[in-house]
Amino acid sequence: MSQDSTIRFGNRVANYAKYRPGYPDKVLDYLQHECHLTSESVIADIGSGTGIFTKLLLDRGYTVYAVEPNDSMRHEAEKQLKQLHGFYSVTGTAEDTSLPDKSANLIVCAQAFHWFNNAETKTEFKRILAPHGHVALIWNNRCIDADDFAIAYELLLKQQDGDYERINHQNLTEADFVTFYHGGKYKLVKFSNYQVFNFEQLAGRAFSSSYVPAEDTPEGHLFSIQLKAIFDQYQTNGTVMFRYDTEVYLGRL
């Protein structure tokens, strides 16, 4: 996990926690069935951020070790989840989680693996994974051509001076997953997901992304004006929609 990836969301935490999408219940049902999870299962949520996926796991009664290097994001998760049974907040990285050997029945990485796809991560995951354990790599993959608004929003992102195309998780290829999973074997399933936004919510969702100019900069102000223009053009009854394919890659190491 590069130093840049561990700090880049520090000024995005409030928007991230409030406006990033959740995950369909069917994802949790799928993991429970495929990984034979029970109330005794221990799950390591690596790159847990503000705890969006962590909370879904806790709500199912699992013990969850939420490993997150970014202080601001980890503190936000602690604030939201500290009262929930089974929640353990851990300062650590994908390459150095500090978790005990063979302690996790399941490792999940929700919207995070593209930040730490490296050999050191695989070594660490193999160390902390219990026998017969699984690793689930999960993304909400925004459908960039779902409708005219989606196409216009994607174009707006590509027009920014940031590193949107470099860090996009869609840059991962089949070869990355074949290399990561044991014997190159894994399952990929997809579930439909969506968010509906008024303009304030859309702006919050956009500014939660590290590749969008910071909200309190001249570039961010210009981005907001451009975002409002496409919102006004494509809104229906005061809202627009993001459609996602929630992708779950599941296998063993």
Is residue 155 in some structural domain? no
Q: Which residue has the tokens 């968010």?
A: 195
Question: Is residue 37 included in any domain, yes or no?
Answer: yes
pLDDT digits (tens, 9 = 90+) for 147-168: 999 999 999 998 987 666 665 5
> How many whole angstroms separate alpha carbon 193 and alpha carbon 88?
28
In a domain, 173, yes or no: yes
For residue 101, the domain's CATH number is: 3.40.50.150
Across the chain, mean pLDDT equals 92
Global pTM reads 0.91
Confidence grade of residue 211 (pLDDT, cut at 50, 70, 90): confident
Domain that holds residue 97: 3-143+167-195+242-251
- Per residue in 21-34, pLDDT (tens digit) is 999 999 999 999 99
Q: Residues 215-232: what's their mean pLDDT? A: 95
Task: Give 7: exposed, middle or buried? Use CB within 10 Å, 0-12, 13-18, 19+.
Answer: middle
Question: Is 105 a member of any domain?
Answer: yes
pLDDT at 163: 63
Q: Give the pair of three-digit tokens for residue 121.
A: 């991560």
**C-alpha distances out from residue 13 to 139, 196, 246, Å:** 19, 20, 22
Pairing of strands 87-90, 104-110: unpaired
Q: State the total domains in the chain.
A: 1
Question: What is the model's pLDDT at position 14?
Answer: 87
Does position 182 have pLDDT exceeding 80, yes or no?
Answer: yes
Q: Percent of the chain at pLDDT above 90?
A: 83
**208 assigned to some structural domain:** no
Token look-up 């707006």 returns 156
* pLDDT at residue 210 in the model: 81
Residue 205 lies in a domain: no
Instruction: Kindly indicate the confidence band of residue 10, based on its pLDDT and cuts at 50, 70 and 90.
Output: very low
Residue 217 lies in a domain: no
Contact 195, 246 (CB under 8 A): no
Could you tell me if residue 149 is inside a domain? no
